[in-house]
Structure formats: structure tokens, C-alpha cells
Amino acid sequence: MATKRKTTRRNPARRRTTKKKTAQPFPYTRNVVGLVIVVLAGLGLFNLGLLGTLCANLMRVFVGDSYQVGLVIGGALGVALAVTGTWPRIARHYLWGSGLIYGGWLLWISANAFIQADQHSGFIATVWHASLADLISGGHTAQYGGGLWGAIELSVIAWLIALLGAQIAAWFIMAGGVLVFFQIPLSDLTPYLQRLLGWLQRGSQAVAAGVKQGGERLQARREQRPAKPRPTAPAATPAASQAPAASSAAPASSAAAEPSYHVTVAANEQPAAPAASSAAPADESAAETTEPEALVSAAPVDPNYQLPSPDLLKQVPPTDQTAEINAIDANTKILKQTLDSFGVDAEVKNVSLGPSVTEYELHPAIGVKVSRIVNLADDLALALAAKGIRIQAPIPGKSLIGIEVPNKDVSTVAFRDVVEAQPPHPNKPLEVPLGRNVTGQVVTMNLTKMPHLLIAGATGSGKSVAINGIITSILMNARPDQVKMMLIDPKKVELSVYNGIPHLLTPVVSEPKKAARALHKVVAEMERRYELFSQFGQRKISGYNAFVQKANAADNQARPTLPYIVVIVDELADLMMTVSSEVEDAIIRLAQMGRAAGVHMILATQRPSVDVITGLIKANVPSRIAFAVSSGIDSRTILDTNGAEKLLGRGDMLFQPVDANSPVRVQGAFISDEDVSNVVDFIKQQQTADYDDDMVVTDEEMQESEQGDSDDELFDDALAFVVDQQKASTSLLQRRFRIGYNRAARIIDDLEQRGYIGPQEGSKPRQVYKQPDSTAPSSTAPPTS
């Protein structure tokens, strides 16, 4: 009998459950983040190294010149986070109050900055471009005001109540922030407001009563005084009688702005009014007519003065362009075949042979996009075996597309040819020929309509020749009593040939510090001219000169008219590297207000970067000339468009006047050094230089201004130490003289402003311009390349 197999039930194996160990987060993450914030805030606060400068510039983008406060606040929050590991809890009234105070402060400094710059729109764009330039260059050259935060506030509030209203609103916002911060109800301020209103009411009543009594006494004196006989005078006399008293009471500190000649509109035949004594009543002294005054004295009119003749200029033989003429047919066929191969239907309508390029005018068929032809620029250059072509699509005023192909041999445009081709304009002394365009026509510019000109291009592209041509053309068109010039040449070799001509207000200025001072003197002359115009009811220099000529014809007198003033800066980059703040302020003032006063500027630079040609300078100098540059970025900096990077050099330029939508290609006229010397010598033989003492910047003035700039007793010792060591930094002065950071930083800033040391360039040491054996700051700026 079979036995029954025992079946044993196996218990199922228990699964071993293993709990997954979850990774525990690092418990001090927030503390580390807070520590990093503290370190970055400290680096940015003291501008330590490249990272510190980057942090400072990033903070300046948002809060502008108050970036130190923002970094301190960020550092304080970082300390709290590093110590406690949590963000600090702050009551709402503290947050809202401090936010209103800080926001109002940013609004106020933004409004103040743009009021000083005389800019009333485009706040956000200006701050953004300036901050972007500093982020790229790693410097602190621009002034941001209140940064983007302040610019956004200002854009909204100034649009409603203007800049002055924005300043007032900023104070109200800060006052409201104080009330919120300290939880002060408005009811507590009611008694103080009532007292203030009562005081203002009583004060206004007292002032009104005093004015009324004074008017009654003045009327009584006039009735008691016998009437004086009124002298007969020409029609110009009433305007002159309204001029204010002579500026003899001006403070001695404004000696540099004293006038040097008088313009008297009243007839000299009339008997002079008796001199009023010091005890005479105010109305009698006001009845005397004063003579208008100005700083720049007009040169005496020499009836024998002769303008230089074009015979003084060298005759350049014309260039043989037979090969270029013969190549036109072949190039036309190549253009047609190349366009057909890419499926572009276009026909060559006209060909213009210019001095440096040949322009082929294409008429695209209906339905052909202009962009298709523009995108074929490289392919067309390859087919034509050209160095590079420029496409103008479309040509202004025509339904054609221009393709400019460089000539094999550039034809020289002689300065004598363009001068002889220009019709004489005695009433346009500032009309200057530039050269010839692609059709061979003479291109001229009138500085009175520009009213200012910016010239930029790479080294050797033809800037100096163009400036010599402009100056020589003015000398050949204008007498010394019509145009005065101030030449600023930091390179010391380009414009020194003009020293001694009677058209100069001052010898050629070559030192940057003196150049800044000279520009401010021109600003003072401009302001004095506006005061002169207001006295005689005139609006611009042409109206005032016509007014004086009319008065001269009435009484046969020879009162001098106001001359035009042309300021020419041959290298703006050198000035912007050493005395940028002073030079930029003066240039902006002249650019904004100089046209009506007869002041015109020509600014030239070989470094077209945003730290030299700033946004404010570009906005106020609308006319530009671009010579050959190395990149499209430089071309956009000058012209706001590409094209200058495709120029050929040797005088090839793009000229964009203020009234043109697109630049015009011009081959500049060539003038040799011999031609310049012939014209200058001819002028010197007729009349010698008579510099204006009020416009000449002397060494004594510079020493006085430098002595009054800084009150720190360690400045001279610090200057001697920096010159001896040939390096300068804030920490170096701290260790040497055992002073604090703020004092050492102020001394470094003073040294930079006076031109002894260069600007900060990231982590690199500052460059010292003054050598140990020199006695004055070097006038040479750091190399621009």
C-alpha cells in the first residue's frame, strides 16, 4: 500500500524590503548663497578687479550713480542670509517707505542729470546705450543718473509734467516715503501746514504792500522831475535804450569773460547823457543807454585785404581713364549675365564714370525684390573681379538700383579744380567744396546749415587732407572780420602750419587741458552773444549783422559785425581720453545752441567708438563724413548704417548732411602741403595775427584753476609719489600715506581729472602721463590704437 506523500507547505519567502535612502539636501545652501552675495557686493563696492567692475556696472545699469547704495543693501541682505540662512523679515511699512524714498531719489538724480545734459526725451535709450558701452569697455565713463529704474520713472512722469515737474514730484515721493516709513499720519502735519500757509500769506501781503508804496514814491518823483528833451535818433535807438547797465559790477572772478569791444547802435552825433552819480535814483541810471558787448573782438576791416586766388594752388593734370571707359561695356555684359544666372531680371539703364568708382544703374523688372539684388553683392564682386562693390538700393529720387564698382586707377580730384568750378558766393563765407560725386559733379557743404560736422575714419583714409581742404576753402572765401577760427590739434603736427594767420582767435591749442578751457571760453562767448541778441530783439547772427549794417548806413558809422566762429578739433579721441567730462559738456552746449550764435564745430577722430563718439554728441551733430573704416560696427557708429567699411581710402568718403536720408559717395579733393603753405603765406603777408586775449588760455590760468581744484593737503605729495613710482592706484596711496579709502579715491579722481593719470581700465594699472623730469602734465593721451 502506497504511502501518502507528505506535502509540506512552504511559506513564501519574505521579500526583503530595502528603503531607498533619499539624498539629503545640503543644509547650508542659503548660507553659501548669502556669502557669495556679500563677496560680490564687496567687490563691486570697491571696484576690485574685473569681477568687481562687472558687478558695479551691472548694478549701475539698474540704479545708476547710486550703485553704492544698492550694493550696500544687497550686501546687508547677503549678510543676513549667510548668518541666519533665511531672508530677513521686514515690516511692510519699512519696505514701502524705503522703496518710495529710494525711488524718489533715483527719479531726482535722473531728472537732474538730463536737465544738465539738456535732453528732454529718449531717457531709457540713452541710459541703456551708455551702460552697454561701459559693460563692454569695463570702465566708468558715462553718467547714468538713476539708471534704468530712474529713467523709467522719468519717462512716465516727465511726459506728464516735464523735467522740472519730475524734480518736484521726486521730493513729494521722498516725503511720502518718510511718512510711510515712520507711520506718521497726515493729521499730525495739519498744524504745521497751517502755520506755513499763514506765514506765506503774511509774507506775500507784506511784499505786495512794499511794491505798491515803492511804485507810488517813484511816480511822485517822476511827476516832480522836469521833463528832459528827447534827442533825435535813428530807428535803432529804442532797442539800444532798453539794454541793461554795463557789466562793470561783474565779479573779478569772471575776468576771462569780460568784453573786448563795444557795438553802439545809437547815433554818435547826439550829445552824451550826463554821468549819473552814485546817489542818483535808480530810474535815472536805467535811462542811460548801454552798449552791447561781446567777448570776441572783430578784426578791423582792411579795405585793401585781398582773398587768396586759385592761382596759388597747384594744377594737377587729369588722369587718363581710357581703360575705365573701355571696360564699361564688358562689365555691363558681365552684370547682365550674372544676374540672369541667378534668375534676376534687371536691365542696366545708365552708367556713370566717377573719379574712384563707376556706378551702374539697374532697373529691376516688375516682381523682382530689391533684397535679391542686394544679397548678390559678393557674387557680383566675384564676377567683376572687383575689390568690393557697394549697392545703393534704391538710388534716392530714382526707381533704380546703383551698383558702385571700384575703378582700377583712382582719378585724383584736384582742390584747385573744385574751387574754380564752385561759383563765388560772397554772402556764403562758410560754403566749402568737398570733392566730386560718382557723376563728376562738385559736392559742397555750407556750415551754416550743417550746423556741425563729424568726421571719422581709420588712419590714412584722408581725414587730415579733408580738414586742410575745409580750412583752406574758408580762408579763400572769408576775410578775417567775417570768420574766426579756433584750431585744436592734440597731435601738434597737423594744424600748426596755420599759426599766425589773422583768422585765428588763439594760437593752435595742442594741450588737452587748455583745449577744454578754450572750449568753455567759446561757450561763454556764445552765451554773451545770445544776451546781445535779446537786447536788440534779434534771433540769430545774420539778423543782428543786418541790423548793425542798417544802423551804420543810417549814421555813416563803422560798427563791427559779429564774425562766425568755427571750432575745429583734429583728434577728438585724445581729448576724450584725458578730459572727457569737461570736453563733452562744452561740445554738447555748443552743438545744441551754437547755430544761431554763429558758432560751428568740426570734430574729427580716427577711433569711431562709442566712448569717443558718445550718444549725446551723435544726437547733436547731425552731419557726418565717414572715411574708410575697418568694420561695419564702426560704420554704424558714424552713420548709423553700413557702407563705410567698403570704401577705398585715399579720400573716398560717405557724406551725409543733416537734410539727407542716405549718405552720398564723394571722392574728396586733394590739397598738398605746398598749396596750404602758399595760401597761408599769402594771407600772412597782408595781415598779421591779432589773437584775442580773452580767448587765449595762458599757463597762469591753468595753474590757478589747478590750484583751486583740490583742497586736499596731500595732493602735491601724492602727485610727486605717483610720478616717482610711475603707477597709481587707490590702495597704493592708502599704504603710502596711511589714509582711508575715500580720501585716497578722491585724490586719484583729482589726478585723473587734471590729466596726470589715465582712466581705469579694468584690472590694469592706470597709466601715468607725467614723467619724473617734467613740470606739467603731458599733453599726449594714451595711444588710440
Q: Which residues are annotated as a binding site for ATP?
A: 457-464
What gap in Å lies between CA 499 and CA 341, rounded to an integer?
60
CA angle centred on 390, ends 385 and 391, rounded to 5°: 115
What gap in Å lies between CA 305 and CA 309, rounded to an integer?
12
Residue 294: which H helix or E strand, with range? strand 293-294
Q: How far does the chain reach from its first CA to its final CA, in angstroms? A: 116
What gap in Å lies between CA 95 and CA 50, rounded to an integer?
33
Cell of 141: 565713463
What gap in Å lies between CA 474 and CA 714, rounded to an integer?
49
- SS3 at position 27: coil
Bridge partners for 362 per DSSP: 348, 401
The bridge status of strand 453-456 relative to strand 442-446 is unpaired
Annotated binding site: which residue ranges? 457-464
CB 544 within 8 A of CB 729: no
* CB-based contacts of 436, cutoff 8 Å, min separation 6: 354, 355, 413, 418, 442, 443, 666, 667, 669
CB 574 within 8 A of CB 781: yes
Q: What is the DSSP letter of 25?
A: P
* CB-based contacts of 631, cutoff 8 Å, min separation 6: 645
CB 614 within 8 A of CB 584: yes
CA distances (Å), 172 to each of 179, 190, 200, in order? 11, 16, 19
Give the residue among 385, 384, 386, 364 at the shortest CA–CA distance from 374: 364
- Find the radius of gyration of the CA atoms of the chain: 35
Q: What is the DSSP letter of 497?
A: G
Cell of 71: 550694493
Q: What is the DSSP letter of 492?
A: S
CB 178 within 8 A of CB 101: yes
CB 478 within 8 A of CB 429: yes
